[in-house]
Amino acid sequence: MCTRHQPSRALHRTADALRTNLRDLDARYAALDGVIAELDARTRRDGFHVLHDWDGRAGRVNPETIPVDVATFAVERRGDEPGHEIAAAVLIDYHYLNVLALLSLRAWDGGNPDANLDRLDALLDALHAHGSGHRFASQSATLLLIATAHYEPKEDGYDALLEKVRGLERRHRLVVAIDHAVAMGCHLRFGFEASYGRDVGAMRADNAADYPWLHFSLNTLLDPYEGGEVVAEALINGLCPDPSSLLASGDFAERFRPHRAGLLEAFERFRPGERAYSPLGLFFNFSHNVVKGLVVDAVLRARPWPVGLNDLFTSLAPEGGPRAAAGSASNPRQAATTLMEYARRSPDPIGGRPTPAIVYDPATGRQLFGAAMRRLRDESWA
């Protein structure tokens, strides 16, 4: 598409095409444009703005979609640099990633929602197999997280969506629970440190929509608890920001108590260190900003990232294989530190202070891990 144009013009053309869901690029996309517009309107009525970010300064939803915003940024920053074909390919893939995230919230519109999520798994695999090479996420359950990990002025949609998720088959509930346990851990750790001055009460009050998802996720991981490192790592990630909230819940405490000794031993493996990557050292405001940050870097450098959101959610090597060496583009630590560098250059004003929205800080993660483990070992609740 882009090889016949100068680099800056190619990115201009990509941004323009994304504004109409590629309809202006090729008339064959006209039907898709209409379908996306209808599904977006339906999803907005449910309370979610999947395709558009919130502008906190203006107090409104951005008029342009997130991929168009990123494409416009690329036009301004890349100029006539080489590698525009790769940049345009990543941007188009990012557009389709957002469309798939939108579709994940429509899985309950007709037919079997579990089967619909399976179809989305196949589409996500196809995007990765035939696209730019940039990796976004590993499964359709993660698309649900990406779709909803925005600031929403009204939060009623989160409770309604959670009730739908509770009705999924266990295999889908389990992957949703793993993703949300880690994501909520990262999100609440960020708030605890950056937004609430380590005031747990303020954090709970300001995250009323998040705590039900956190409790659902951790209860799902323990019901029944079948062991395994993946579940243990997700549990300690979700417990770290506020273990007392979970232990005060009779349902969670009842499920956790019989496995307490074994889990405490399993958790120790995930104590953050200085060298190996740990998601317990990752702090961010919203999961979608992590995805967007890696897209921005891929577009500006014309180099797709082989690390997706799920890779940043675990210290475990994929399928039991070895982790890539430190400094490698396939190592999640490299991706996390790259995101932090961008965030430091463009901090958000939080509590009157400029604060990076994404931080990788294993030392602080280790402190919070230690505090959570002391609370879990405390005999007073058990």
CA atoms within 13 A of residue 168's CA, in its CB half-sphere: 29
Average pLDDT, the chain: 91
CA atoms within 13 A of residue 221's CA, in its CB half-sphere: 32
> What is the spatial distance between Cα 204 and Cα 300, in angstroms, rounded to a whole number?
38
Read off the pLDDT of residues 129-185 as tens digits, 9 standing for 90 and up: 999 999 999 999 999 999 999 999 999 999 999 999 999 999 999 999 999 999 999
User: Is residue 5's pLDDT more than 90?
Assistant: no
- SS3 letters for 339-370? HHHHHHHCCEEECCEEECCEEECHHHHHHHHH
- 309 versus 9: the higher-pLDDT residue is 309
> What is the spatial distance between Cα 225 and Cα 327, in angstroms, rounded to a whole number?
36
pLDDT on residue 324:
65
pLDDT on residue 3:
43
- 16 versus 376: the higher-pLDDT residue is 376
Q: Which amino acid is it at 97?
A: L
DSSP structural state of residue 324 = P
Mean pLDDT across 36-48? 96
> What is the spatial distance between Cα 182 and Cα 214, in angstroms, rounded to a whole number?
9
pLDDT class of 241 with cuts at 50, 70, 90: very high
> What is the value of pTM for the model shown?
0.93
pLDDT class of 201 with cuts at 50, 70, 90: very high
User: Is residue 78's pLDDT more than 70?
Assistant: yes
Mean pLDDT across 277-298? 97
Least confident of 75-89, 141-155, 365-379: 75-89
User: Is residue 1's pLDDT more than 60?
Assistant: no
pLDDT on residue 76:
87
> What is the spatial distance between Cα 250 and Cα 235, in angstroms, rounded to a whole number?
17
For β-strands 348-350 and 54-55, DSSP reports them as: unpaired
pLDDT class of 325 with cuts at 50, 70, 90: low
Could you tell me the two tokens for 331?
């190592």
Peptide bond into 354 cis (omega under 30): no
